[in-house]
Amino acid sequence: MNNFFLGILQGIIIGIANIIPGISGSTLAVILGIYEKIINIITKFDFKLLLLFKKFEFKSIGKHISLKFLISISTGIIISYIFMANLIQYLFANFEKLTWSYFFGIILISSWIVSKYVKKWSIKEIVFLKIGLIFSLLIFLINPNIEENQNLLYVFICGVIGVLGMLIPGLSGSYLLYLMGNYELLMSKILLILNPVVIRDYFLGIEKNQFENYFIIFVVFMIGHIFGILILSRFVKWLLLKHKNITFACLTGFILGSLLWIWPWKSQLSNKISLPGLNDISDIYSILLIIAGVITILMIESFGKKFKKI
């Protein structure tokens, strides 16, 4: 049972990262030491699983997909979505620079931790690190001006693309949704259907049409997520099996490049970069929060190593 609650806690940490633009939930999964385990479990949603369902061999099903672990992680992610989405939105609305500062520290130290998965650095690994860095910077240079789009086909595509942040360390699915113009819709608005007060109002006939609209969007978005996971997870697993060194080298470069996405002294509208001034007390607070972010991840890494064999 302790392992189950530990999985929930790990899921909450991963879920919070999935919500924040610029941060990848899979990066936190790497730090917690459960990334490869999650990828392996996802790829076991295959024909063998269908055969086990057909034969009603539920005990074998649970063993095949590590069901207890999967339920605990999924529960933690759902909890983080329900309770943290509005809090994070509040922090960005009222303490934007300080919030970005804390998350900058998280990503800064994460790049070093992910780089440790490269067993040997050679010219090839350095080349792929640069490729990841350049690709990340190219995404950063995109300055979107795309409006919210509730078209269900587009929402499905957002679901497929958004799941990349759950599969590829360093690649923020939330940031990709931001580039596609649907971040607020899919990471904030539709989560209202999970709010008990909103559900109560629906059955009382209040905002009924809006609830039903968001519920349909939520279902289509989740279907896109599931489709993306089933298709892309196998490719990620192949990379980890056959090209682990260059894969993590490339991801290290990508994470380093993503630091520009969440630089605290950046205009979120124009991507214009500025430097902190030590004569400004708010800048000093920001630097302290960067350090706090670094310490947080070092603690999470220590936590992940201690319970790696969950």
| Predicted pLDDT at 310 | 40
Rounded to an integer, the average pLDDT of 165-192 is 78
Sign of CA dihedral 25, 26, 31, 35: positive
Q: What is the mean pLDDT of residues 226-249?
A: 87
What number is the average pLDDT over the span 232-243?
86
Structure tokens at 155: 């929402």
Asked if 25 and 173 count as a contact pair (C-beta separation under 8 A), the reply is yes
Q: How many CB atoms lie within 10 A of CB 196?
A: 8
pLDDT band at 185 (very low <50, low <70, confident <90, very high): confident
Name the least confident of 1-5, 90-94, 136-140: 1-5
Helix (H, G, I), strand (E, B) or coil at 146: coil
The pLDDT, as a whole number, for residue 221 is: 92
306, two tokens: 């201690």
pLDDT band, residue 152 (cuts 50/70/90):
very high
pLDDT of residue 309: 46
* Greater model confidence, 208 or 31: 31
* pLDDT score at 131: 94
User: Are 165 and 18 in contact, with CB atoms under 8 Å apart?
Assistant: yes
Q: Is 136 exposed, middle or buried (0-12, 13-18, 19+ CB in 10 A)?
A: buried
Using the predicted structure, report yes or no on whether residue 248 has a pLDDT greater than 80.
Answer: yes
Beta-bridge partner residues of 273: 266
pLDDT for the residue 72: 92
User: CA-to-CA distance for 278 and 131, rounded, in angstroms?
Assistant: 34
pLDDT surpassing 80 at residue 237: yes
Which distant-in-sequence residues (6+ apart) come within 8 Å of 25 by Cβ? 14, 15, 17, 18, 77, 165, 166, 173
Q: Provide the pLDDT confidence category of residue 121 given band limits of 50, 70 and 90.
A: very high
Alpha-carbon distance of 89 to 129, in angstroms, equals 33
Per-residue model confidence (pLDDT) at position 126 = 95
Single pTM value for the model: 0.75
Token output for 261: 């996405």
- Locate 154 and state its tokens: 């587009």
Phi, psi of 273 (to 5 degrees): -95, 135
Q: Is the dihedral of CA 116, 120, 121, 125 positive or negative?
A: negative
> Of the ranges 85-89, 131-135, 204-208, which is most confident?
131-135
pLDDT in tens, 17-26: 888 776 788 8
pLDDT above 70 covers a percentage of the chain that reads 88
pLDDT for residue 257: 85
Distance from chain centroid for Cα 208: 31
Of 180, 149, 146, 151, nearest to 163 (Cα)? Answer: 180
